[in-house]
Structure 1
Amino acid sequence: MSKLMSRVPLGVQAGFARAVFALPGPVRRLIAGPPIRVDGQELALDAQLLLVLDRLGDHEFVRGTPEQARANLARTVPLVAGPPIEPVAVRELSLGGVPARLYTPAEDTDAMLVYYHGGGWVLGTLDSHDNTCRYFAREAGVKVLSVDYRLAPEHAFPAAVDDAVSAFRHAHAKAADFGVDPGRIAVGGDSAGGNLAAVTSLLTTRDGGPAPAFQLLLYPGADSSVRRPSRDLFAEGFFLTSANIDWFCDHYCPDVAQRSDPRFSVLLAEDLTGLPPAYLATAGFDPLRDEGEAFGAKLADAGVPVTVRRQRDLIHGYASFLGLGTRFREATAEAAGALRTGLALARP
């Protein structure tokens, strides 16, 4: 069945997926199967249904070479992202040589989010996270500057970190050109992008600034030095797998000794004091869940104002699934609200 579905044009598959998610709850439950419960949590019906459709369409998250995986991601994004969110003005630009895309909402704003996309430092583009950035621009009422940092294995660690920090510093230096307050620029990202946002906050703070006003960290990778329980609890079957994580790390940072560097495993930084306030979200059914929450706890212990929120019924990547169902948007809406509030409180 999965091989048959994989031959169906993606536009037809996208229409089929939207139709399935529009069915009455009992029918969707029948298609998804019995509820899945792990670690005292029950998987959301929307997430369980997405996983079923993912298997039927044979859309494995990571497959083959990096080039093949990138092509697969480009094909499947339209299935889950949904139609472009409007009204948002979009402009391509460069941040000191780093390609970027600026999203401007209809409402007037002097706040900005510098956003780093997910994809394990190997996958992801400005296009793969286009609708996620559109969503934050519209719902948080901020300008979003999406950064197209260099990817591994062509550009291994710490190239992505260098680009992430450079992009933030460029945005801060050119704040007047963007029409934003330099004191109201946040950093954020999902998964590997959440890692880069946290690392950017760490490095700019330790360098004496300028530093971000706020951190928006969605299910970030935080520590590759320890294998925590969630890595085994959700090793397979919940979108991001343990094998995927190994694949990403091997491409991004093949030198295992370097993986204890706080620029890679930010949780291992000795001192987190003075970092910007943060909203850190994890997904209950995510192998990265425990390391993300450990980082949130360490931020709190360092006196950083932080909200750590576990979306108990969701899977990794939920901010990219805005075109299906309602639960993914609900969780992402909470993040947008936290960003809006965090930057409002940063106003002089």
Structure 2
Amino acid sequence: MNNLSRRGALMLPLGLAAFTSACVQPPSGTMMPADPSGRADPEMRALLETLARLNPQPIETLSAADARRQPSLADAVKARALELSNTNPMRVIGSQQDMTLNTVPNPLIARLYRPVVNYSGPVPLIVYFHGGGWVIANIDTYDESARALCVESGAMVLSINYRQGPEVRFPGAHDDANVAYAWAVRNAASINADPNKIAIAGESAGGNLAINAAIYARDAGLPAPKVVASIYPVGGVDLNTPSYQQFANAKPLNKPMIEWFVRNYTRSPQDLQDPRMDLIGKADLSRLPPVILVNAEIDPLADDGVRLERKFRAAGTPVIQRTYPGVTHEFFGADPVLTKAKEAQSFVGAEIRRAFDAPALPPAGPVPRGRQPMRRPAM
């Protein structure tokens, strides 16, 4: 199959047969503005202008290896902080430790963040999955988000470096998220974590992994997380929603980039029919712990958050959703330079604290007839 026919085959299940990326590219020889949407608030616009000065190349035109070397919004946050004479922008935590989880069949690299707060006993724990379309970025790129969750929740944060495409395609990252959560449940005592107070969180592609890990825990009979925080998650496979159309050219995430992520992570169009990729259309979202959804206004994925909220409610799962105006995808970790990032972090941290303090939930109950539980990973 040539490149053009493969692209068409991949996009058909996403409803993009008549909505190709060619229609969202600027004319040849022109420069895309730092804020193509024109809706960014002053702080966000300044950050996007800083990102533009770092001259990142369009990821959708690059190989995965080259895309991973491009300047990210996290790099722009550091540069913008220096422009504002903030020479020490990182959140203060107690300590951090890089470690290797003895997960099977693949050991996973992780980073454990410990809060400054002193506990007399075991500490609550958040298992965190970074973003990057299941292809780019790592725990370093999303360091500020993990540190902020640690500070705002008062919990430890275990940030997972899962495997990525195209080297490891679907469901590699999803399998890694599942075994990472299982490891946390079974090995909590080894890091002085409270096995009865574990949450899951993630951003973007990691937000999708966070929800899927909670589904896995339910179906595999593992103890449920106390709460799931999913920040601008990939919720479905419809790339023709109103937010995809309105923010097709948005920075730092646009529709052609998402198409590129899909091509580099999935094995074939059939993967897009899997409930793990299509949470909105095909996943069973019932009998799950409370869910926190955070979205950005200027984001192709904004409608995924709204549609996920509706589906969680219809399934009887407690959910709270909040969209922050004037900011873009990836804003959550930009607290050194964005007021709304601080607000979102405080909101998520407070909700996680509330969930940790809530009475234990009853077991999810037996798996309905006709559904086979997922095999528990060996640890």
Aligned equivalents of 2:130 and 2:354: distance in 1? 22
Query: Pairwise CA RMSD of aligned residues?
Result: 2.3
Shift of 1:103: 0.3
Length-normalised TM-score, structure 1: 0.84
Aligned equivalents of 1:150 and 1:67: distance in 2? 14
Which among 81, 86, 89 is matched to residue 95 of structure 2?
89
Shift of 1:333: 2.1
Shift of 1:331: 2.2
Aligned partners of 1:229 and 1:290 also within 8 Å: yes
Aligned equivalents of 1:324 and 1:61: distance in 2? 24
Instruction: Give the secondary structure class of the aligned counterpart of 1:55.
Output: helix
Count of matched residue pairs: 312
Which position in structure 2 is the counterpart of 1:104?
A: 114
Which position in structure 2 is the counterpart of 1:314?
A: 327
**Pair 34,314 (structure 1): closer, same or farther in 2 beyond 3 Å:** closer
Aligned equivalents of 1:236 and 1:333: distance in 2? 29
Which position in structure 2 is the counterpart of 1:200?
A: 213
Matched, 1:329 2:335: no
Which position in structure 2 is the counterpart of 1:275?
A: 288
Residues 52-109 of structure 1 show CA distances to partners (whole Å, capped at 9, x for unaligned) of 23223323462511111111147x6343156332133001112221111100001035
**Matched AA of 1:340:** R
**Matched AA of 2:113:** Y
Aligned equivalents of 1:177 and 1:86: distance in 2? 24
Matched, 1:116 2:116: no
**Matched AA of 1:230:** S
Aligned equivalents of 1:34 and 1:171: distance in 2? 40
Shift of 1:290: 0.6
Length-normalised TM-score, structure 2: 0.77
**Pair 73,163 (structure 1): closer, same or farther in 2 beyond 3 Å:** farther
Shift of 1:238: 3.1
- Identity among equivalent positions (%) equals 31
Alignment of 1:46-65 (within 5 A): 46-60=43-57, 62=59, 64-65=62-63
Shift of 1:226: 5.3
Shift of 1:219: 0.2
More helix by share: 1
Q: Which runs of 5+ in 1 are unaligned?
A: 1-31
Aligned equivalents of 2:330 and 2:58: distance in 1? 11
Shift of 1:225: 4.0
Shift of 1:267: 1.8
Aligned equivalents of 1:162 and 1:33: distance in 2? 36
**Pair 50,170 (structure 1): closer, same or farther in 2 beyond 3 Å:** same
Matched, 1:44 2:41: yes
Aligned equivalents of 2:215 and 2:232: distance in 1? 17
Aligned partners of 1:184 and 1:347 also within 8 Å: no
Residues 294-334 of structure 1 show CA distances to partners (whole Å, capped at 9, x for unaligned) of 11110111111110111122110111222324232222222
**Matched AA of 1:280:** L
**Pair 316,152 (structure 1): closer, same or farther in 2 beyond 3 Å:** same
